Chains A and B, each alone.
Chain A
Amino acid sequence: GAVPMTPEAYQEMRLQREMWERNRPLTDEELDAMLPGEKDGYKVLAAPPSYKPIIDPAR
């Protein structure tokens, strides 16, 4: 069977799960539902061809 967790380990797991939930990838539909769009006076600004996302290798 599973080894019972200490309260500290349980709390740690709960917090990590919360942060994981807040940090999961967003779909375009979710973004559209969340943010103001064309009718609210905003347009999506396309990334310039020069844009290279900086990926942090330490992650």
Chain B
Amino acid sequence: AAQRARNQRLPPEVNRALFVRNLPFNISSEEMYDIFGKYGPVRQIRIGTTKETRGTAYVVYEDIYDAKNACDHLSGFNVANRYLIVLYFNPVRHS
């Protein structure tokens, strides 16, 4: 089943980059890679550092199917009594 899922076409909004909100401000690199790395190899994480961006991050996976799996499973995931909001990155919205 996993093999078949890998060849499946994914909806156009599905993206390897995820936008994550509601992260604890003091979350460590270890915790970030631990939470998101469970779903597959992480290409890069960018974390918010200013008043406006703290608590948010971009998490990019190497593989789009891993990104979909992470998005499906981590939306509403509880970290330090906060519920994560995980969305697909939308290049149009950010350009």
CA distance A53 to B64 in the complex (A): 15
21 A-B residue pairs with Cβ-Cβ distance under 8 Å, sorted by A, are A18-B9, A19-B10, A22-B64, A23-B64, A26-B43, A35-B60, A35-B89, A42-B58, A43-B46, A43-B49, A44-B45, A45-B45, A47-B29, A50-B33, A51-B33, A51-B37, A53-B42, A54-B37, A54-B41, A58-B2, A59-B6
Chain B interface (Cβ within 8 Å of chain A)?
Answer: 2-3, 6-10, 16-17, 28-30, 32-33, 37-38, 40-50, 52-53, 57-58, 60, 62-65, 89, 91, 94
- Decide: B62 and A25 in contact? CB cutoff 8 A: yes
Chain A interface (Cβ within 8 Å of chain B)?
Answer: 15-16, 18-19, 22-23, 25-26, 31, 34-37, 40-48, 50-51, 53-56, 58-59
